[in-house]
Amino acid sequence: MRGQVPIDTSTATGESPPWQDTRLSPAERAAALVPLMTLEEKVAQLVGVWVGADASGGGVAPHQSEMTGVEWNTVIGNGLGQLTRPFGTAPVDPVAGARSLAASQAEIVAASRFGIPAQVHEECLTGFAAWGATVYPAPLSWGAAFDPELVEEMAGQIGRSLRAAGVHQGLAPVLDVTRDYRWGRTEETIAEDPYLVGTVGAAYVRGIEGAGIVATLKHFAGYSASRGGRNHAPVEMGPRELADIVLPPFEMALRLGGPRSVMNSYAEIDGLPAGADERLLTGLLREEWGFTGTVVSDYFAVRFLQRLHGVAAEAGDAAGLALRAGIDVELPTIDTFGAPLIDAVKAGEVDEALIDRALRRVLAQKAELGLLDPGWRPLPEDVERLRLDDETGQDIALRLARQSIVLLRNTGGVLPLAAGRRVALVGPVADDPMAMLGCYTFPAHVGPHPEHGLGVEIPSLREALAALVPDLAYVPGCDITGDDTSGIAAAAAAAAGADVCVLAVGDRAGLFGRGTSGEGCDATDLNLPGVQAELVQAVLATGTPVVLVLLAGRPYALGEAAGAAAGVVCGFFPGQRGGQALAEVLTGAVNPSGRLPVSVPRDAGGLPSTYLSPPLGRSSEVSSVDPAPAFPFGHGLSYTTFEWSDAGVRGPAEWPVGGETTVEITVRNTGPRPGTEVVQLYLHDPVAQTTRPVVRLAGYARVPLEAGQAARVSFTVPADVTSFTGVRGRRVVEPGDVELRFGRSSAETAAAVRLRLTGAERQVGHDRKLLATAGVTPIAGEKAAAYGDRAGLTE
């Protein structure tokens, strides 16, 4: 104990001390413990240590001192705040990993005076990032599905798998709104629209928190708007863009999901890094929005204040800046919050009260998780039955993948693929299982480990399509990257000899230049990587009808191929069952219902811009550049047809600035087979005190209909949903004329309802109403479906 006085955890009456008393609130228990701790013990609770589980199940992996920079027994002598990614460091059998983690926790408890276990965190964006765990579709696929309920179901399953392994916190979801498709982490975003990001992200939070896991919102805030789409590059945005586009998903997730942690962004906005921004992490997040959980640093972000941003001269200065701003825990491992912070406190350069403030939050959260309870046990129940890739997870992964596939173009009846036609499959991602996976999956993030395999079965598109299409010919044509064109002629020949050619192109996810998509894998333009564009041109030139399949982490500019291909299908890293989902859509076994969460640009060289543009951000007479996309946000086709009619408003067209209105439309399946339409509601504000996007999403509903069936789709919209940041920097509901537009996409309006917001300008805040409530009522007296509740779109 290095001279410390051992703590007696019983009172004179035999009762537990207050900090172990489960009758007290977590905050009261934390407050009782803080004064008992030395400075070194306090700081130990504010750091993580990066360890890997031992494959033998015997505790921390060998050579951990090389990863932490200090010897393990020394690290845990004063206690430990967090254990970083014990399952996400190297392949380990799940049962052995859980036993190893439990052994490490027992050592931590035994080594320190208070016997407090560490809080364990893992990555979990597309599933538990562990060897052998189910790999779900990437977040862009969540957005494409337009189905918060299914995302909540997925997150609940992820949370249960984490908890069964002894993990307490998941580092997800990512709530960054897509701003520049060149950014490598576009694949981790949900969409380019804050309403879609917020509703789907809040659903993920509800699912994982409902399973008892601490959800971590990231990256707060502005990370996705980096200059030139470059990772960690400075962000140049005004306060209005920050308030109206970047921040709302975090607000929605906090209020509608209930997360207990937030992670800071690496970004600097107007010269101020988020990790040192007290107005952001304390003023806005805690004082205005009322957040009471923990703020954890993104990995190495505190040290980056010194080394990359240059706003701190020494490590202790960086630690002080982060603590003052509101960061409570430094991840992933001991660095500036170790000896540099202790020395800074002893020198009077950092107030110990800041450490106590962070410590109270950390200990309160540990109390919530049961880690301060006297009866806590390190080994989860039924650990021998632990399975991270079961039938339930695989079923959810398949359903989400199916709903996420987007049919962008279909001419001449090329899709679904007709029986008896000769089909050639070409392209570099056609027979690559990794083409289904984003960069935060275990195989892409931690691998490769050839001796262990991928850990789960991941059929490629070729494998899945061959099971449905007899005599499928296959030629890769080229690699994903590189300049080797020697295989293109053979691919063109295969296409020429077929009745239809499925051409699969796209990305390989990786980290920091080891892929074409993913963290640190940014793009200078939106051309397909390598020589894939040449392959596309050669195959199209054969005259054979081509179905272009994009398996990617970002939208790529298709140029002339967008109109030359007979069919275009898009999947955004659809997960371990994505190959099956794609094959089912191509053959017609599944009717596609995905919609684009990001626009697909037409021009690879123009500065990418999303659909949320004011009038002068669109095509105009004052510029020779037309930024219109090849396929807009919200676009997606089906193998059946839908008729929209009889749009209107219930009640008067006057809409009080403090009230709500209900608009509705009839949707009928006029085609030959069942299908799902995605009805999107957009707000158009023609005259406002600041420039506004021409349209922005204000509601949506998935509407499944049998052939010939019709339904009345309604949206009850609070006037608060129309609010924006006005000229004085305050969020307001402004009176005046508006339209609520029923859209098949952001660019295709089926009907518009003109309304007038009435009353005086009204200022609104964090307590405003955030959502439109959707309802779907089948025509002809069929039972109504409460789609607002079902889709997670009620407050």
Residue 488 contacts by C-beta under 8 Å, 6 or more apart in sequence?
Answer: 477, 478, 531, 534, 535, 538
> Do residues 204 and 173 touch, judged by C-beta distance below 8 A?
yes
Rounded Cα–Cα distance for residues 627 and 697 (Å):
20
Short-list 186, 33, 216, CA closest to 116: 33
Answer yes or no: is pLDDT of 606 > 70.
no
> Do residues 422 and 470 touch, judged by C-beta distance below 8 A?
no
53 pLDDT band (50/70/90 cuts)?
low
| Residue 793, pLDDT score | 43
> What tokens appear for 370 in the block?
């049961």
The neighbour count for residue 490, using CB atoms within 10 Å, is 13
> 22-31, 62-71, 698-707 — which is least confidently predicted?
62-71
783 pLDDT band (50/70/90 cuts)?
very low
3-state secondary structure 498-519: CCEEEEEEECCECCCCCCCECC
Residue 740 contacts by C-beta under 8 Å, 6 or more apart in sequence?
Answer: 661, 663, 681, 682, 683, 684, 698, 715, 717, 752, 753, 755
Answer yes or no: is pLDDT of 448 > 80.
no
Do the strands 731-733 and 268-269 form a parallel or antiparallel pair, or are they unpaired? unpaired
Question: What average pLDDT does range 50-60 have in this prediction?
Answer: 65
More reliable by pLDDT, 383 or 252: 252
Short-list 93, 92, 1, CA closest to 38: 1
> What tokens appear for 538 in the block?
């050669």
> What tokens appear for 175 in the block?
């709530």
> What tokens appear for 244 in the block?
């109206």
To the nearest whole percent, how much of the chain has pLDDT over 90? 86
Answer yes or no: is pLDDT of 40 > 90.
yes
Answer yes or no: is pLDDT of 7 > 90.
no
161 pLDDT band (50/70/90 cuts)?
very high
Rounded Cα–Cα distance for residues 664 and 774 (Å):
9
Tell me the pLDDT of the chain averaged across its residues: 93
| Residue 538, pLDDT score | 98
- 210 phi/psi in degrees, rounded to 5: -65, -25
Mutual angle of helices 488-496 and 532-540, in 10-degree steps: 30
| Residue 54, pLDDT score | 63
| Residue 56, pLDDT score | 60
pLDDT tens digits, one per residue of 399-417: 999 999 999 999 999 999 9
Rounded Cα–Cα distance for residues 192 and 396 (Å):
24
- Please list the residues that pair with 754 across neighbouring strands: 739
State how far Cα 664 lies from the chain centre: 31
Rounded Cα–Cα distance for residues 603 and 626 (Å):
9
Question: What average pLDDT does range 16-39 have in this prediction?
Answer: 96
| Residue 65, pLDDT score | 44
| Residue 1, pLDDT score | 37
Answer yes or no: is pLDDT of 623 > 80.
yes
Cis-peptide into 86, omega within 30 deg: no
To the nearest whole percent, how much of the chain has pLDDT over 70? 94
- 101 phi/psi in degrees, rounded to 5: -65, -45
Q: How far is CA 167 from CA 97, 164, 208, 561, 705, in A?
A: 11, 7, 12, 47, 41
Question: What average pLDDT does range 761-786 have in this prediction?
Answer: 84
Rounded Cα–Cα distance for residues 293 and 205 (Å):
14
Answer yes or no: is pLDDT of 440 > 90.
yes
| Residue 726, pLDDT score | 97
Short-list 691, 695, 713, 706, CA closest to 787: 713
pLDDT tens digits, one per residue of 680-722: 999 999 999 999 999 999 999 999 999 999 999 999 999 999 9
Answer yes or no: is pLDDT of 68 > 70.
no
Question: What average pLDDT does range 298-310 have in this prediction?
Answer: 97
The gap between the terminal CA atoms of the chain, to the nearest Å, is 51
Residue 267 contacts by C-beta under 8 Å, 6 or more apart in sequence?
Answer: 219, 221, 222, 223, 225, 226, 232, 234, 235, 273, 274
Q: How far is CA 145 from CA 140, 174, 643, 772, in A?
A: 9, 17, 21, 18
Answer yes or no: is pLDDT of 794 > 50.
no
For the entire predicted model, the pTM comes to 0.95
Question: What average pLDDT does range 193-210 have in this prediction?
Answer: 98
Question: What average pLDDT does range 597-621 have in this prediction?
Answer: 86
| Residue 789, pLDDT score | 37
Answer yes or no: is pLDDT of 361 > 80.
yes
608 pLDDT band (50/70/90 cuts)?
low
605 pLDDT band (50/70/90 cuts)?
confident
> What tokens appear for 196 in the block?
């879609």
Helix (H, G, I), strand (E, B) or coil at 252: helix
Question: What average pLDDT does range 175-179 have in this prediction?
Answer: 97
> 2-16, 36-50, 609-623 — which is least confidently predicted?
2-16
| Residue 6, pLDDT score | 54
Characterize 66-80 residue by residue with b for buried, 16 or more Cβ atoms within 10 angstroms of its Cβ, and e for exposed: ebbeeebeebbbbbb
More reliable by pLDDT, 59 or 791: 59
Question: What average pLDDT does range 349-358 have in this prediction?
Answer: 98
Question: What average pLDDT does range 532-548 have in this prediction?
Answer: 98
Rounded Cα–Cα distance for residues 246 and 195 (Å):
10
727 pLDDT band (50/70/90 cuts)?
very high
533 pLDDT band (50/70/90 cuts)?
very high
Characterize 216-230 residue by residue with b for buried, 16 or more Cβ atoms within 10 angstroms of its Cβ, and e for exposed: bbbbbbbbbbbeebb
pLDDT tens digits, one per residue of 732-767: 999 999 999 999 999 999 999 999 999 999 999 999
Question: What average pLDDT does range 332-341 have in this prediction?
Answer: 96
Answer yes or no: is pLDDT of 343 > 50.
yes
Mutual angle of helices 26-33 and 352-368, in 10-degree steps: 140
